[in-house]
């Protein structure tokens, strides 16, 4: 376990404009919730709790520190749950070949409007069942906050969808809220994960962390615990 600090905005999912997160693991209910939230925001990013109109600090830190030794220029990257598109823009500016997808058509159109030069880089797709056109094509898959955002019973489906995007020798970068094993589980999103839960989800898919999981506190007040790990497929 690597403890430290990292500038990462905390993400809470409150009731927004009368919208309540689903209480069950019904995938269609969660898809509708996210679409309703983006649609009801009516172009105001302040009404989307996790939309900060900047790339994820946890991603930026990893790109600065570790990606240069792992990723070639022009590598293909898939961004899961891309929201308003900032992570895709960051990756494109660094010379990678990204595509971002989100289950919300409104979010995808919003991202296209914000970054018209990257319009064709944003598509509508579901992390739990990515289309064949996205599968096994990415050198890097970026998964930030999707696992924590959906009901815990859906995590395995999301993890399987995430790894399906990667090439056989590709990488998966996952970032989520963290908690101790004995800490009570949340009853509403964000559903924080333990280190074992995070590594176990990808381990069940045949993927293992490349090194110890980063376990750090963000710079919010109060500070929030985050987990970050890069995974690679185990050798057969």
The pLDDT of residue 16: 52
The pLDDT of residue 11: 40
Residues 6+ apart with CB under 8 A from 65: none
Residue 190 has pLDDT above 80, yes or no: yes
The pLDDT of residue 12: 46
Domain parsing of the chain, residue ranges: 2-233
In the predicted model, what is the mean pLDDT of residues 167-192?
A: 95
C-alpha–C-alpha distance, residues 177 and 42, integer Å: 27
Helix and strand tally (H, E) in the chain? 7, 9
C-alpha–C-alpha distance, residues 196 and 56, integer Å: 23
Share of the chain above pLDDT 70, in %: 92
Class of domain 2-233: alpha beta
The token duo for 22 is 């689903």
203-233: burial string, b at 16+ Cβ within 10 Å, e else: eebebebeeebbbbbbeeeeebbbbbbbbbb
Q: Per DSSP, which regions of the chain are E strands?
A: 2-5, 76-80, 97-102, 122-124, 138-144, 166-177, 207-209, 214-217, 225-233
Helices of type H across 6-104? 27-41, 57-65, 86-93
Instruction: Encode pLDDT of 40-72 as tens digits.
Output: 999 999 999 989 899 999 999 999 999 999 999
Instruction: Encode pLDDT of 113-161 as tens digits.
Output: 999 999 999 999 999 999 999 999 999 999 999 999 999 999 999 999 9
Instruction: Encode pLDDT of 79-98 as tens digits.
Output: 999 999 999 999 999 999 99
């Amino acid at each position: 376990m690597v403890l430290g600090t990292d500038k990462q905005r905390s993400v809470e999912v409150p009731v927004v404009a009368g919208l309540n997160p689903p209480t069950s693991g019904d995938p269609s209910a969660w898809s509708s919730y996210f679409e309703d939230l983006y649609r009801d925001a009516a172009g105001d990013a302040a009404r989307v709790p996790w939309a900060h109109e900047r790339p994820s600090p946890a991603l930026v830190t990893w790109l600065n520190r570790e990606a240069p030794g792992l990723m070639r220029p022009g590598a293909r990257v898939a961004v899961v749950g891309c929201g308003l598109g900032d992570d895709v823009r960051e990756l494109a500016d660094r010379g990678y070949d990204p595509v971002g997808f989100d289950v919300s058509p409104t979010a995808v159109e919003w991202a296209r409007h914000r970054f018209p030069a990257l319009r064709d880089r944003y598509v509508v797709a579901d992390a739990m069942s990515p289309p064949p056109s996205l599968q096994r094509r990415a050198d890097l898959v970026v998964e930030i906050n999707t696992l924590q955002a959906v009901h815990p019973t859906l995590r395995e489906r999301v993890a399987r969808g995430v790894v399906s995007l990667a090439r056989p020798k590709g990488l998966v970068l996952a970032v989520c809220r963290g908690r101790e094993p004995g800490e009570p589980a949340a009853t509403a999103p964000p559903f924080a994960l333990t280190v074992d839960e995070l590594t176990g989800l990808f381990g069940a898919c045949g993927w293992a962390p490349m090194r110890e999981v980063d376990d750090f506190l963000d710079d919010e007040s109060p500070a929030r615990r985050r987990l970050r790990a890069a995974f690679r497929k185990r050798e057969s």
